[in-house]
Amino acid sequence: MKRVININFQGRVIPIEESAYDLLKKYIDSLTKFFANEEGREEIINDIEGRIAELFGEALKKGSTCVTDDDVTRIIDSMGRPEDFDNEENNVKAQLSGEQTKSNASSSQQKSSATNADEPRRFYRDENHKVLGGVCSGIANYFGIDPVIVRVIFLVTTFGAGFGFLAYIILWVAAPSSASKVIGSQRKRLFRDPEEKIIAGVCSGLAQYFNISVWIPRLLFLIPFISFVFRSTHWDWWGFPHFLSLSFSPGALFIYIIFWLVIPEAKSTADKLEMKGEKVDLNNIKNTIQSDMEGIKERAEKFGTEVKEKAQEWGKEFSETVSDKSKQFSSEATSVVKTHSTGLGDIIVLIFKIFAYFILGVVLFALVVALFSIGVVFTGLLPAKDYVIANGWQNLFAWGTLILFVWVPVLGIVTFIIRRIAKLKGNSSLIRNSFLALWLVGLVCFIGLIVSLRNDFRYSNHVVEQTVSISNPKIDKLEITVPTSKYYSNRRWFKMEPFARLDEDTVYVQNVRVRIVKSSTDSFQVVMVKLANGKSKNQADEIASKINYNITQKDSLLVLDKGIALTENEKFRNQVVILTISVPVGKRIKVNENIGWGNQSHFNIMWDSDDMGWNFYDDQQEERWRNNVEYLQTAKGLERVDKQSDDEDGNSIEDFKKSKEQILREKEQKLRELKEIDKQLQDSPADSSKYHYQPDTPKKSEIKKVAQTTDSKFRNTDFQFRTNDLLLLKFYI
């Protein structure tokens, strides 16, 4: 049993065998001698030690209790030994003076490679690089790609299509766990490139990973924003846009932000080498560091003057800030010392702060989700904007509301979260004030849009009834329907009333009401009323007169338009069509589905001013009806031909009769109880105090009066039932 010691190596506590530590120490000493004359030797040694510490961590994640001799040997073989470099072999041997002999690393690696080549390729969950269950990293290892790409695909499929989460759970359960990752093996990883970045280095990192020019991913992210300005065909008509794709500009921004959050930045030399797909060994680390140092020198010479001026300015601000903060800290420390004796109070305050921060986080998250949802919905409604919003100021207000009032807060909160995660503190006040100013401009646009639209809907037109002529008004049956047409549509995520359908140049408004009344003649009659709003009475009358709603008759079919057709030149101003169909007694009528919004008992929109709404009443009693049901007009009203009930609660005449019988039985029971009480009172002795009434007991005359009143109310109750009536009885005792 070898002795195990704990060492602090590059900020990590590493349990390692004592013999393995000796190997590590000799290796580090040989590297120190080898790079003694190299420029930036300290940075080179530090990065090599950092890489070795990462590989130690991977070895311990496999379940090992400590780092063994074999682990150190494999790491040294993967990193490379100083004497392995052919071009400097003689110089290395002279420097090391025979302290280390050349190993058989290459032969051992060839044997290992041959062994691995003979093994069948299998899929495992990677426990070494897992976030949840190691599924994504296992897929990445199997296909030889970066785990971040697989994770982004799972996120998009989970929130976009919904099956990503189910697939992840299935793979988590079915795939076995493995720690087959070879320590120090060469692989290409996806990082954000800090050297070629413009915003966050996402595009330059993608270019490094796919070995393409950096302008290609930048152009892919930029094209949606360019097309957003010149055309709107990337919106899906009357449904949600393809938000999680590069065909929609906010979707491209959303994907960029996701990459920004999940892809790490290449900070160390090992990260930069893995980003380019190069092996992390001594030679590559040395060359990378020396190249970085040359670039730093050039940038330092170029910006030296500017850095000096900024340093002086920041030094002055820093001294002032330190002075202010020291005074503030001194006062707070004094206050804390004074109140430290109340330990229970401090605990309560701490708990309260934790709870407050939790509530604040929940509210902030809910606010982001709400604003994001509103932005998506408003953006999805952009195809209908031209049918509601007028050109000029309204159009400007609408765009300002969408971009500045809705999307700016979302971007501001996301920016705040990213800066907090990245611990960026520079220009905080400038960014905050900029977002606030933009949002205030958006608020002005929103108020202007609401006021402008309210003025457009302020007045209603004068109601004018138009009689629609039908070719054969004395037919026995009339069926109301719409033209049959084939229409294929993708699944909609939401429905926005009153728009029924949106074509390339026409929107169909489904504001059609159908009323059925009893006719005073022996013929069918149809009366149409057109309603609309406008800035004035005259404009409302003009808009209502332009409503084109056609009604045609084909034998017993009365064919109605599927909706009120509006073009981009005819803005939606609450156009409504009310059809009143008079049905003679003894005639039949049937209304098919999808005729406007169905039957309405009355149509009434009232405002504070008489000029701002409609009052629609007449003396004719409107009948209740249902779609796809044939009715017969009788003297008492519409009755179903199939003799069923239209009551929505499912109550029939038989149910009402049973209720009546139950109430009558309860009435008789109460009367019998009253008679028994009256009989007991008559038989009681007059001089007995045992049966005297208590102060709060009603007298005999009052009981008789209540009984007579109750009996009279039930005798006068009229229990008549009709098909469309509801029974309402009040029981008095």
97-106 CB contacts, 8 Å cutoff, 24+ apart = 99/26, 99/30, 100/26, 100/30, 103/76, 103/77, 105/76, 105/77, 105/81
Element (H, E) at 543: helix 537-545
- Per residue in 38-57, pLDDT (tens digit) is 776 777 778 788 878 888 88
Q: What's the pLDDT at 379? A: 67
Q: Is 477 exposed, middle or buried (0-12, 13-18, 19+ CB in 10 A)?
A: middle
Q: What's the pLDDT at 650? A: 47
Query: Distance between CA atoms of 617 and 184, rounded to whole angstroms?
Result: 85
**Residue 248 to residues 157, 227, 241, 454, Cα–Cα distance (Å):** 17, 9, 7, 31
- Per residue in 166-184, pLDDT (tens digit) is 677 777 766 766 544 444 5
CA angle 688, 691, 695 (to 5 degrees): 115
Contacts of 336 (CB under 8 A, 6+ apart): none
Q: What's the pLDDT at 603? A: 37
Query: Distance between CA atoms of 653 and 605, rounded to whole angstroms?
Result: 35
Q: What's the pLDDT at 327? A: 58
Strands 557-560 and 477-481: parallel
Q: What's the pLDDT at 245? A: 44
- DSSP labels for 159-218? HHTSHHHHHHHHHHHHSPEE--PPTT-------B-SSS-SSSSHHHHHHHHHT--THHHH
Task: Report the chain's terminal Cα–Cα distance, integer Å.
Answer: 96
Q: What's the pLDDT at 197? A: 78
Q: What's the pLDDT at 726? A: 36
- Per residue in 587-637, pLDDT (tens digit) is 888 887 655 544 443 333 333 333 334 444 444 556 677 777 788 888 887
Across all residues in the chain, what is the average pLDDT? Answer: 68
Band of residue 732 on the pLDDT scale cut at 50, 70, 90? very low
Query: Distance between CA atoms of 382 and 242, rounded to whole angstroms?
Result: 13
581 beta partners:
516, 526
**Lowest-pLDDT range, 149-158, 449-458, 462-471, 719-728?**
719-728
- Per residue in 401-450, pLDDT (tens digit) is 888 888 888 788 777 777 776 666 666 778 888 888 888 898 888 888 88
Q: Which whole number is the average pLDDT over 344-365?
A: 70
Q: What's the pLDDT at 42? A: 78
CA atoms within 13 A on the CB side of 476: 0
Domain-by-domain residue ranges, the chain? 125-179, 202-298, 303-341, 343-456, 461-484+495-640, 653-715
pTM for this one? 0.40
Query: Distance between CA atoms of 495 and 47, rounded to whole angstroms?
Result: 58
CA 35 vs. chain centroid, Å, equals: 55
> Structure tokens of 728?
């309402």
- Per residue in 64-104, pLDDT (tens digit) is 788 888 888 888 777 777 766 544 545 544 454 444 444 44
- DSSP labels for 493-520? S---TTEEEE-SSEEEE--EEEEEEE-S
